[in-house]
Structure 1
């Protein structure tokens, strides 16, 4: 009963990850319609996609410290409310500006949720199940992606010329508005979770903390957790206020560097570019718009499957092996994508141009049967002929007609990347961050690293459309693959193992030993 209750509470708290994944997955389909509707250029499209991550940076920087003051549970309830507001305002947006502002409100929510959930779950877990339970956040993220891609697939399927209900002008609003349903459920369920017992200890509410621990783990394990916390109580007696400079202490420097490297690597390899622009990336392979939407469902299914692999292995194999194997696989997969895109050619046959049903298709005739050996020159000529708005609405059909590429090879690379990420950098980063830092510094440290993580994510999302237009598919993926390769060798040298140790034991081991590490 106690174990089931702990899993139930952890899953509810991790639902913030579901909403993040849902928002990230939805936007990949939304931009196929909202971009042309508002006639957005590459940078504007990038900003609509990436603006939540910029807002998330602010939330991540402060949410940990605010939760130290007001409590993890109270802030999570506010987070759920903000998710709902964002969904409604996004669906009703009448301009580019309102759309990105509405999405930034959602960014504040998921920025805080991604920090608070692993902190809370780590603080209610035991050493034996902490890895699995913290990984529930990543599982919820990929469930969110799956739900979003499935939702987008059906909205796109029923958005036909014969439909009186869905049109290109309103279908993206339904895609965004449907997020209100999980946001309301998250808001209601959060009232049924207890306050974090370790936060209660931090606030000297010892009796209440002991009651929560016993309810979570039963009498025997509950008292063992109480003993572990109280044995380490002296470490957290210092009541002085914290600031970011405190993280630079010699005793914390090593674990801060480890956390920052893992946090940066998680995003700089391009995972959110792949998720947020999945539909666009699959269009680049020439498989067509409908197939691009259905491929997104396949991508999210792979994410779910391999996140379960992470849940199964993380407390058996450990954090370090999963990260190293996964990062190596990410590098290989991205370089495979780069190779596949580099071999592609582009040619629009006259008969294909004649079959296009959109206006101004005849403007493509001067480029008929011309062979391009790279996507940059091809897309540049097509956009110059049609304009960005018409091209944006019909890029799937145009690329499907023109692209000659080994599409299965690209698909294997993308799915391999997502699979390796799903059992390594995706879940393991949050597990490590929730474990590495002492209780006193945990909220501040995770907030700072999550801020950097979100900064990298937002930059990648913002420039990704520009990269595809100006650097091309092949060079873009090669850069990501090269970064992943470098990251693997760095992790091989510095990454510690935290499997099977209590938070207090990890603190004693890493904080003490880091004083002697020369970097």
Structure 2
């Protein structure tokens, strides 16, 4: 693999298209909010359920895919995830009633969940150590591109008839591109090697063995905090936030495009930094920086500083910090830290925890907005505290993995004091 870095980059780019599905569907719902809410006469709780129902599918997708990825390899599940998502995108767009829309969103989540786990896992396994961080970050880059494409699609489709239906259905296009591209991927060489060497089937009980349980716990916490840091609230519910700041629907959707562009620019910056500065340092800077920005955004609402561009500027800086740090580096870390024997299953468990956290925060936020009412600043203070707690966790428990092979990372985490294997 080390002798063919260009080939590794090529297949990483193809595998990373799975992130495009994740990003596109994650953000496309935001553009439908001003239209789908009155269409189905949704309450705040129903809006939260409509948005978050896809993450039920994501949870199912990651749980199922962990087993299949370790048993049958990485390629076939990647292809299946693209196919499922393409079909379900069309079903979401032209669902005849609300209940079928929810079913289609859950089905779409299965494809998104599988791809979100498999893409960074596959990339980490096919790339040499010195470019692995940058290559896994490509997965985040495609997520960001998916978000930007979704925001742009929402803005362009907002003025046509059946706009929210076309927004959902448009996700079938990137899914089809990914499906065709994935057919040409080779199987992961590390999976093939492990398949030849291992005679025992990996089970959940393997994840609670001494040493491994600690590593899996770190991965789960890293995954959860990425989702509850407050960034997802901005991506999914930007129209609600900007409406609170007094913007009309057209301005709300345009602000989303700005968010998508900033997200893209700073993800590219992160790709240059992750293998230079290191994972741990970027995560520490990101968590404390996001905490400060959330306090400032909350302060803007508390002091009613909503006239002019202040809120927009603070939100864009917040997204810039997230895009440079927590967004891409989380996927790098959880694709690196797990031992090879259980990597697929452990990645599945960590990604499942990520989607559970995403479901919770996306479902609860509209309810929180309604609960706090005019005290909008309280929503941001909650997430500011969460980011600070995460900073303390990273400082204490998360090691640096820069420029280490997956095997070296495994040895360091399982035997941090250089003890011999028993």
* More deviation, 506-515/426-435: 506-515
Structure 1 CA distance for aligned equivalents of residues 40 and 213 of structure 2: 47
Look up the SS of the partner of 2:186 in the other structure.
coil
Structure 2 CA distance for aligned equivalents of residues 20 and 61 of structure 1: 16
* More deviation, 33-42/272-281: 272-281
Task: Find the partner of 2:368 among 456, 467, 470.
Answer: 467
**Paired positions, count:** 415
Cα-to-partner distance string for 1:464-517 (whole Å, 9 max, x where unaligned): 11111112421111101111011111211211000001111111121112898x
Look up the SS of the partner of 1:417 in the other structure.
helix
1:276 and 2:253 correspond:
no
Cross-structure match for 2:209: 249
1:440 and 2:341 correspond:
yes
Cross-structure match for 1:399: none
Cross-structure match for 1:128: 130
Cα-to-partner distance string for 1:339-398 (whole Å, 9 max, x where unaligned): 111223xxxxxxxxxxxxxxxxxxxxxxxxxxxxxxxxxxxxxxxxxxxxxxxxxxxxxx
Structure 2 CA distance for aligned equivalents of residues 467 and 333 of structure 1: 20
Do 2:70 and 2:202's aligned partners in 1 also have CA atoms closer than 8 Å? Answer: no
Q: Equivalences for 1:430-509 in 2 at 5 Å?
A: 430-472=331-373, 473-509=376-412
Gaps of 5+ in 1: 160-165, 205-236, 345-403
Cross-structure match for 1:313: 273
1:295 and 2:196 correspond:
no
Structure 2 CA distance for aligned equivalents of residues 100 and 465 of structure 1: 18
Do 2:5 and 2:128's aligned partners in 1 also have CA atoms closer than 8 Å? Answer: no
Do 2:270 and 2:325's aligned partners in 1 also have CA atoms closer than 8 Å? Answer: yes
Q: Equivalences for 1:105-184 in 2 at 5 Å?
A: 105-156=107-158, 159=159, 166-167=160-161, 170-184=162-176
Runs of at least 4 residues off by over 4 Å: none
What is the TM-score of this pair, normalised by structure 1?
Answer: 0.78
Cross-structure match for 1:354: none
What is the TM-score of this pair, normalised by structure 2?
Answer: 0.95
1:190 and 2:93 correspond:
no
Do 1:329 and 1:416's aligned partners in 2 also have CA atoms closer than 8 Å? Answer: no
Cross-structure match for 1:513: 416
Task: Say if 1:308 and 1:117 are closer, same or farther in 2 by CA, change over 3 A.
Answer: same
Shift of 1:48: 1.1
Shift of 1:270: 2.3
Do 2:84 and 2:111's aligned partners in 1 also have CA atoms closer than 8 Å? Answer: yes
Cα-to-partner distance string for 1:131-185 (whole Å, 9 max, x where unaligned): 01111110000001111111111112xx1xxxxxx23xx1111111111111111
Gaps of 5+ in 2: none
Do 2:9 and 2:127's aligned partners in 1 also have CA atoms closer than 8 Å? Answer: no
* More deviation, 460-469/262-271: 262-271
Shift of 1:194: 0.7
RMSD, aligned CA: 1.6
Structure 1 CA distance for aligned equivalents of residues 388 and 409 of structure 2: 28
Structure 2 CA distance for aligned equivalents of residues 94 and 309 of structure 1: 43
1:265 and 2:210 correspond:
no
